Structure 1
């Protein structure tokens, strides 16, 4: 099976019909409409006109070949699974990570979606791949059912994945949310909001509000907390992120 799906060929014919594109994916086979809305929240393109310009640049940069190389490299390094990988243009105008989004992704246990545009520094693509594929490998190691994951799991997923970016790509490629708060400030937020809700399940609205810092919560609160928890663990233990990829989330509790 070819890990990186030929979405370059799909987009050639169906860039104006994203729902038809999603029929070719695993999670999009049943209800393309709701799945497309979910993916748009994570950065998938809305405007086919704007996406067309990005698609041309994606082909010029040979991004499908590039991502195939990343998949081969990290699958070997991390003994990871083979899952379908889909590349689509990003929705540049808005996104959960920054006002003008250049890259995003979303990982499921059985497939990964990447939303990209032209990058001056190609290492940014590798950083994106490392973060999302790390999720995939960890899911495989943990072998938990979807309804078993809670807020603690989610924040550790994000913390570990971004520490992997730091280790394999360099500190300059980590996301800005990794150092959004001072230690004392984040500790107070953690005690006040994260710690009492660590067992909140993924399907609860509170889960995403805390993870992403929605409503009145500090922005990217859960992500930042998870990164700091993993950082504190690494400060106490001389180890690498690969040795932690299958560790239970409770290991990282302070």
Structure 2
């Protein structure tokens, strides 16, 4: 299964998201906890609101579009075939922006996309490229999840958004790539990121720095990762494909 038939599932179960998640890999055992996790990443909360989005997505046959992306990039990148789930986004609230239009979350064995109607369909491809890039890099690194550090995470994000730049164009890179001036981000990196590069993913500090939670600047880790990747590329004649399996440490100055 590549793009799962969530359009069929949603017809009957849009008001029962826990039942939907029973059909996924990571949601088979504890749907309640998994649903709360996915909501943090943008999955819908209100079934009434989601129903309106669902109708628009069906009109545009979004499932066929994502199926084409999956075939295209799996071939280009020699990537894995994993289940891909499309669900309506919760537009009113999300970690990336106050009114979220698209989001996603990638696991080593499946990818979730949370979307709504987009005027520019290229936005869907940019979202797919970012999340599927994570999946391909996970496969290439062959690293256990509990071994991932903050350095790994920020490079994951920086490389994925660089792939968006390469395959979709500068117009489609995320706003957090341009959120800070170079000098300002350099100071933030020296103060908060560099001393904590070895912090493991399970530590609360990891997400606080990656996302810019608590008192840290918004999307600090994401922005820092993109900066490290771009600085590395200034001196390299290379491309997304050649970087998939590179260790995170090579991007350090």
For the criterion TM > 0.5, the same-fold answer is yes
Deviation beyond 2 Å, 4+ runs, structure 1: none
Deviation string 1:134-166 (CA, Å, 9 cap, x unpaired) is: 000000000001100010000000000000000
SS at match of 2:193: helix
Partner of 1:11: 10
SS at match of 2:104: strand
User: Is the aligned partner of 1:175 residue 2:179?
Assistant: no
Q: What are the equivalent positions in structure 2 for 1:35-184 lying under 5 Å apart?
A: 35-184=34-183
Provide structure 1 residue ranges, at least 5 long, that are not aligned to the other structure.
none
> Post-superposition shift, 1:192?
0.3
Partner of 2:19: 20
TM-score computed with the length of structure 1 as normaliser: 0.99
TM-score computed with the length of structure 2 as normaliser: 1.00
Q: How many Å separate the matches in 2 of 1:249 and 1:61?
A: 39
Q: How many Å separate the matches in 2 of 1:141 and 1:250?
A: 15
User: Is the aligned partner of 1:199 residue 2:203?
Assistant: no
> Post-superposition shift, 1:245?
1.0
> Post-superposition shift, 1:188?
0.6
Partner of 1:212: 211
Report the count of equivalent residues.
253
Q: How many Å separate the matches in 2 of 1:241 and 1:226?
A: 15
Q: How many Å separate the matches in 2 of 1:138 and 1:173?
A: 21
CA RMSD of aligned residues (A): 0.4
SS at match of 1:105: strand
Provide structure 2 residue ranges, at least 5 long, that are not aligned to the other structure.
none
